């Protein structure tokens, strides 16, 4: 069991991560907006909760499948760089995007195979059919582990995952409530602006990761220089 400060940090990072990862406008958010406009707050909220459930599973798999690799310093450094590049790419992609993706082939194929009928399972299956979510959580797991924002024990990771669940749920509750207030679908312009805001947040994360990488390199260079002078 870690200290209270480390536990609080893991949970806070989890909440923020869950919120930001759920925020970019894609198939699941478009589904909530469209279905919520037609069928109301509760239906939209249950779609969101289904998405939260699958998002949490993908997050846990991202840590479980690659947890042992993060013990290597070389892998940690590699994942730190990959995560920085991925956050930068996604940030610019959403910030400069002019359109919104409403469907993915994987999600459509999964829906045709499983035929979800309830709102919860619609949200669950839509995220299940989007393996890019799993890849994103793998990258984030590498970033947080390499920068030591999370402990290497499963207590810290479990608290982080619970924070992700809460953060994602907060986003979908807010989105469902906003849709129920407007009683209609959002315009394409509004969706694009939402994506741009999420892109700006992702670029902010990329900036933080980039600064930390530079500091890590500077410390490494200073250490090597001191050893050579001895």
186 contact partners, CB below 8 Å, separation of at least 6: 33, 179, 194
Q: At what angle do helices 4-22 and 41-64 cross, to 10 degrees?
A: 120
As a whole number of angstroms, the distance between CA 178 and CA 144 comes to 32
Given a contact cutoff of 8 angstroms between Cβ atoms, the answer to whether 202 and 96 are in contact is no
Domain that holds residue 196: 4-229
Q: Residue 120 above 90 pLDDT?
A: yes
pTM score? 0.78
The DSSP-derived string for 120-170 is HHHHHHHHHT-THHHHHHHHHHHHHHHTTSS-SSHHHHHHHHHHHHHHHHH
As for how many domains the chain has, the answer is: 1
What confidence tens digit (pLDDT) does each residue in 3-30 have? 777 788 889 989 988 998 888 767 788 8
- With cut-offs at 50, 70 and 90, classify the pLDDT of residue 105: low
- Give the pLDDT confidence score for residue 103 in this predicted structure: 59
Neighbour count for residue 121 (Cβ, 10 Å): 19
């Amino acid at each position: 069991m870690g200290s209270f400060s480390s536990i609080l940090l893991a949970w806070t990072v989890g909440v923020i991560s869950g919120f930001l990862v759920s925020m970019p406008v894609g198939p699941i958010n478009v589904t909530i907006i469209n279905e919520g406009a037609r069928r109301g707050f509760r239906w939209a909220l249950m779609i969101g909760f289904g998405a939260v459930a699958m998002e949490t599973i993908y997050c846990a798999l991202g840590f479980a499948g690659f947890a042992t690799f993060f013990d290597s310093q070389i892998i940690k450094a590699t994942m730190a760089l990959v995560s920085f590049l991925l956050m930068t790419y996604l940030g610019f992609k959403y910030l400069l995007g002019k359109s919104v993706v409403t469907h993915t082939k994987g999600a459509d194929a999964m829906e045709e195979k499983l035929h979800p009928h309830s709102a919860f399972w619609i949200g669950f299956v839509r995220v299940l059919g989007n393996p890019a979510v799993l890849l994103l959580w793998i990258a984030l797991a590498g970033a947080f582990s390499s920068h030591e924002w999370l402990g290497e024990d499963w207590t810290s990771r479990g608290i982080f995952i619970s924070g992700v669940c809460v953060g994602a749920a907060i986003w979908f509750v807010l989105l469902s409530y906003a849709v129920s207030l407007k009683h209609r679908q959002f315009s394409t312009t509004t969706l694009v602006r939402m994506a741009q805001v999420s892109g700006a947040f992702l670029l902010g994360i990329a900036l933080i990761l980039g600064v930390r990488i530079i500091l890590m390199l500077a410390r490494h260079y200073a250490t090597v220089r001191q050893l050579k002078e001895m």
